[in-house]
Amino acid sequence: MNKPAHAITNLLLSRKAFIVWIIFQLSGCGYAMESQQLWNNAKTISIDIVQNKTEKGGLDIQVKSVVRELLSNRPNVRLASPRESDLSLEITLTTFQIDRSVDITNTNISHLSYRLGGSIKLRDNRAPEKSPPLRNVSVVSSTIFQQAVLETPAVRDEALHHILSEFAKSVESHLYSNL
């Protein structure tokens, strides 16, 4: 094939590829991401009660705040007051444990692990008899330090924030249609 014919062939192929690309762009592929729906196709949810039965004071307030923040950032969830919501969420915290690996010679820690457990009750305010059963939720979060560190409030707070975030994600996973 001579050079001018080869150049014309390449130009036609690239032109055809471009036309195909334009057609795909204009027509779309028909695929659309569908966000998960709340249980029983609810549109609104309230966080009614967070009951703390652990020995860690203030945990109920922290859990409610983290769950509320997580849900408020979801496009398919609208938080509402208990009277106006389709679903009401009740959380009971029953277990809070901290495990550490401590170097006895200098009291530094090399491992910090939190365990947070409880239950959630989702009540369908539109049809209470159709509410799903009580669900247990339990999460563990561990931090292993490459070098032993002094256990400070900042170290504990960072690990606590992580376990609260994991707990909130676990609670959220129980709120959708796949209960």
**pLDDT per residue as tens, the chain (179 positions):** 555 555 555 555 566 655 655 555 555 454 444 567 888 889 999 999 999 999 999 999 999 999 999 999 988 889 999 999 999 999 999 999 999 888 777 778 988 899 999 999 999 999 988 888 999 999 999 988 888 888 888 888 888 999 999 999 999 998 885 55
Per-residue tokens: 24: 């795909």
Q: How far apart are CA 15 and CA 37, in angstroms?
A: 43
Q: What is the predicted pLDDT for the residue at 76?
A: 85
- The domain segmentation of the chain, as residue ranges, is 1-32, 36-173
Residues 119-156: b if buried by 16+ CB within 10 A, e if exposed: ebbbbbbeeeeebbeebebebebebeeeebeebeeeee
* Pairing, β 109-124 against β 78-79: unpaired
User: Is domain 36-173 annotated with CATH 3.30.160.150?
Assistant: yes
Of 124, 139, 138, the closest CA to residue 48 belongs to: 124
β-strand partners of 58? none
* Beta carbons within 10 angstroms of residue 36's beta carbon: 14
* Beta carbons within 10 angstroms of residue 32's beta carbon: 6
Residue with tokens 């690309």: 21
Q: What is the predicted pLDDT for the residue at 96?
A: 97
Report DSSP letters for 88-110, one per residue: EEEEEEEEEEEEEEE-TTT--EE
Please tell me the pTM assigned to this model: 0.75
